Amino acid sequence: MTNKTNAAIDARRIAATPRGIGIGFPIYAERALNAELWDVEGRRYIDFGSGIAVLNTGHRHPRIVEAIRAQLDRFTHTAYQVVPYESVVSLAERLNRLTPGTHAKKTAFFTTGAEAVENAIKIARAATRRPGVIALGGGFHGRTFMGMALTGKVVPYKTGFGPFPGSIFHVPAPIALHGVSVDDSLRAIEKLFKADIEPEQVAAIILEPVQGEGGFYAAPPAFMRALREICDRHGILLIADEIQTGFARTGKWFAMDHYDVVPDLMTMAKSLAGGTPLSAVCGRAEIMDAPAPGGLGGTYAANALAIASAHAVLDVIEDERLCERAQVLGDRLKARLEGLRARVPQIADVRGLGAMVAVEFAGADGAPAPVFTKQVQNRARDAGLLLLTCGVHANVVRFLFPLTIEDAVLNEGLDILAVALQA
């Protein structure tokens, strides 16, 4: 433990960094291990957020630490586009095998999830020679200008930053809980084709199979099939944004593995590389080859340390059977939440695939309950449990604990959650 205090560091933060970088918890990390984190004052927290779904394999997994350390002894950076290295090629080969579909695929690496989304749109436009892109209300695709344009939530992501890139269109996401059916969403697409852009000018439809920031709503299978049919009929590419859903979180390698539909392109990041910055776009080989040499890349894209970490992440997911573990953990969490419904009338919905679980809160009148949601988050924090919220109305708690979490730590966290819900 150091003699620093959270309050003193936070005062320095406010003076030295801009307010636009929001902070979820004014506690400053000193060290972490698996699903536990200690702040500079020595206080322990159970981490149910995993750095926003980045640490499916936990904080500082020994195999990941060792992989990064071994790469450090070799080199940290050459710029892959200048002097390449074999580990990138082998990671691309692994992802080409792991992602849905048996067709020929290619993978390109970048640094952040937003970069992956930007490049997926670039690739789609290069392949189709069309400008238009359709996204869903409530979706989140990043904070760059294209990412903001695609994102279906204004506050805080788009406020004051316009204008945004053109030829981006939104339709409502099908969410039965909020009165939007699959047919409603499909009718909105047909209306779009009649009122705003002809389908022959649309390059891609992009969606998260399970909306992350939007509230952990899984796309209904019927909707995913209908999107695939629309794309096939009009020569549009289907892009699955798996940045938050990927790498065993939903109980399968990717959320698209839950559907009988194969996307043309997929974006990946977050838990791909165990806390180091790495993202990827994987897709049909002929589509991925559309941009000319030099059209894709980035100085830090495919960073050597992140690539080494990613290989270790894939090994850990396979060897520790984290897809199966995610399903067990998610079932345990949902059962606990369902058991609390009778005592917590604000619980409007419990949902999730695998360990990508959320609980949504509403008042007696059915209206979203963001104040109650914040109270639950604050009570949990004060008791040593870190929870993340989400949803267009900020009335959803999402659970993203490491899939490697020990049973005793999970149970301790769930006990704290139960008290916070009933306080």
Residues sharing a CB contact under 8 Å with residue 336, sequence separation 6 or more, in sequence order: 414, 417, 418
- CA dist 93 and 6 (Å) reads 44
Write down the catalytic residue from 109, 110, 140, 223. Answer: 140
Identify whether 140 is a catalytic site residue. Answer: yes
DSSP string, 269-287: -GGGTTTS--EEEEEEHHH
Question: Parallel, antiparallel, or unpaired: how do β-strands 132-136 and 168-171 relate?
Answer: parallel
- CA dist 307 and 272 (Å) reads 9
Nearest to 402 by CA among 37, 141, 38: 37
Write down the catalytic residue from 39, 47, 241, 264. Answer: 241
- CA dist 258 and 240 (Å) reads 13
Q: Are 100 and 262 in contact (CB under 8 A)?
A: yes
Write down the catalytic residue from 270, 334, 399, 401. Answer: 270
3-state secondary structure (DSSP) of residue 218: strand
Residue length of the chain? 423
Q: In Å, what is the CA distance from 294 to each residue of 65, 82, 110, 290, 340?
A: 33, 11, 14, 12, 55
Is the C-alpha dihedral spanning 361, 362, 367, 369 positive or negative? Answer: negative
- CA dist 48 and 317 (Å) reads 19
Query: For the chain, give me the number of helices (H) and strands (E)?
Result: 13, 15
Amino acid identity, position 70 = A
- Enumerate the active-site residues: 140, 241, 270
